[in-house]
Amino acid sequence: MVDADQTFVIVGGGLAGAKAAETLRAEGFSGRVILICDERDHPYERPPLSKGYLLGKEERDSVFVHEPAWYAQNDVELHLGQTVDRVDRAAKTVRFGDDGTLVRYDKLLLATGAEPRRLDIPGTDLAGVHHLRRLAHAERLKGVLGALGRDNGHLVIAGAGWIGLEIAAAARTYGAEVTVIEHGPTPLHGVLGPELGNVFAELHREHGVRFHFGVRLTEIIGQDGMVLAARTDDGEEHPAHDVLAAIGAAPRVGLAEAAGLEIADRAHGGGIVVDARLRTSDPDIYAAGDVASFPHALFDTRLRVEHWANALNGGPAAARSMLGRDAVYDRVPYFFTDQYDLGMEYSGWAPPGSYDQVVIRGDAGKREFIAFWAKEGRVLAGMNVNVWDVTEPIQRLIRSGAPVDLDALADPHVALDSLA
């Protein structure tokens, strides 16, 4: 039986919002739980959109966080295809954008996620220009890649980050020709630095992907509404039937900003500022997932993390905070990727400039290794490539903050557990 004395509202129907709703019920909350999703699909997970589902290895239904019946069975009031256009902090209400309905809240969770950054160049209105963020995008792109593969078509990808590379791998698996345009000197330069980016460049080159580094797209050339080529700022034209923009994502902070909540500066990811318990500058409003900028004591900085594990764990942490639990959110950032026969997991945070050494354990040439980013002997991050069951000891090394014998760290014969 739902107790209507308290109402918790969740805006955002992604993984963070859905797991928050699940946690509220699992932790015994008996009030109203209202989950508002601006998509018409039930809440789903995003990794399959660029991995298994895009490749046709996973069924569409496999992406959903819960079975559709779960929401009614657990007294979660799910509003699909509804937007929220205003938060009134004084009245403690949210307003639906479609019909102006007002819903009062006692606690509010903003899990509004992020949206793909757009190419600001001529030609982006052509039919063959794509983004990947939502299930509908993946469904469309799946058909596009299949057609390109059958017709020996060309896909140009702007951006050599995780999404760009995963889609490049999927496109080559379908048989499409692929060119990746990247303004940095290597793939994943902002995450892996110059030392490891070439591992992924070589992987993709072996599978027929062409890279063009150090340039940006300046124009998408078309005719009769269709893409013909993509031009870069060095004057080159690259044949293209379709173009994918994979130049990052921006946190969806408009609702929070209009409500007067504190927003982080760009250096800290530009998300909604929260404390260690995911509370915003309003004590009755919380934020989690891609949109939240949270302080991380381990790295002595504020982070905004756009990966699956952050939504998976952040949503429940926010729910516990809403319930008054002492739920400090200090998870070590974690993400993973699958590209061709390469599987990788990354833990930690070590942008270029934050470390003084990269230690390799194993054979990077054979793509079976662990890389560690270290500063003054302390491990800041670790990436295991085609080496499994090592995430826990890697994260213990990161959490310890203690100096490590780097020679032992590089030696595959020394157990990681003995160093943590």
CATH number where 411 lies: 3.30.390.30
Residue 2 has pLDDT above 70, yes or no: no
Residue keyed to tokens 């509370």: 279
What is the four-CA torsion angle of 293, 299, 305, 308, rounded to 10 degrees?
-130
Residue 288 has pLDDT above 90, yes or no: yes
**φ and ψ of 151, to 5 deg:** -105, 10
- Which residue type occupies 306? E
| 334 belongs to a structural domain | no
* pTM of the full structure: 0.95
Q: Which domain holds residue 400?
A: 341-418
Residue 194: CATH number of its domain: 3.50.50.60
Residue 3 has pLDDT above 80, yes or no: no
The verdict on 271 and 308 lying in the same domain is yes
Which tens digits make up the pLDDT trace of 188-220?
A: 998 998 889 999 999 999 999 999 999 999 999
Mean pLDDT of 56-75: 96
Residue 1 has pLDDT above 70, yes or no: no
Mean pLDDT of 176-183: 98
The verdict on 50 and 14 lying in the same domain is yes
Which tens digits make up the pLDDT trace of 294-324?
A: 999 889 899 999 999 999 999 999 999 999 9
Which pLDDT value is given to residue 5? 86
The whole-chain average pLDDT of the chain stands at 95
- What distance in Å separates the CA atoms of residue 154 and residue 237, rounded to the nearest whole number? 13
pLDDT-derived band at 270, boundaries 50, 70, 90: very high
Which tens digits make up the pLDDT trace of 117-128?
A: 999 999 999 999
How many distinct structural domains can be found in the chain?
3
Which pLDDT value is given to residue 300? 87
The verdict on 259 and 184 lying in the same domain is no
Mean pLDDT of 341-369: 95
Mean pLDDT of 381-392: 97
pLDDT-derived band at 268, boundaries 50, 70, 90: confident
- What distance in Å separates the CA atoms of residue 64 and residue 80, rounded to the nearest whole number? 14
Residue where a domain stops, chosen among 186, 221, 247: 247
